[in-house]
């Protein structure tokens, strides 16, 4: 019986605490949502750039073939070779690391 009361209290307290946290910091919550949306858009742009540019010269590689740090080096090199802008290279890197 006591265990049920503890579980019930926890189930009530956690959402209340979480709600209070969000109410206390609405600007931070809004910034987190905006950052997530930006990441999603950057990921989508990177996927499109990857498909449109990288496939022109060679077969597409599986993003899981390399680690994040290895993709950073590859993108840095291929930015010059593929004539990508800085923004395009960052978007591709977000896509590759997000797919890894």
For 42-75, write each residue's pLDDT tens digit.
999 999 999 898 877 878 788 899 999 999 999 9
- Per-residue pLDDT, 62: 86
- Per-residue pLDDT, 8: 41
- Prediction pTM value: 0.62
- Per-residue pLDDT, 21: 46
- For all residues of the chain together, what is the average pLDDT? 75
> Could you tell me which residue, 29 or 84, shows the higher pLDDT?
84
Query: Residue 11: which pLDDT band, with cuts at 50, 70 and 90?
Result: very low
Helix or strand run (H / E) with residue 57: none
Q: How far is CA 43 from CA 29, 46, 67, 75, in A?
A: 21, 5, 17, 15
Rg of the chain over Cα atoms, rounded to whole angstroms, equals 21
CB 17: neighbour CB atoms within 10 A?
A: 9
Instruction: Confirm if 61 and 51 have CB atoms less than 8 A apart.
Output: no
Give the ranges where 1-100 is alpha helix by DSSP (H).
Answer: 2-24, 26-53, 68-81, 86-99
């Amino acid at each position: 019986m006591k265990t049920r009361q503890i579980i019930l209290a926890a189930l009530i307290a956690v959402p209340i605490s979480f709600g209070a946290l969000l109410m206390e910091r609405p600007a931070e919550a809004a910034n987190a949502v905006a950052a997530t949306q930006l990441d999603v858009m950057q990921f989508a742009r990177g996927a499109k750039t990857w498909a449109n540019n990288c496939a022109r010269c060679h077969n597409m590689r599986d993003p899981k073939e390399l680690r994040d740090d290895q993709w950073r080096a590859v993108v840095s090199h291929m930015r010059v070779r593929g004539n990508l802008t800085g923004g395009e290279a960052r978007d591709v890197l977000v896509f590759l690391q997000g797919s890894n």
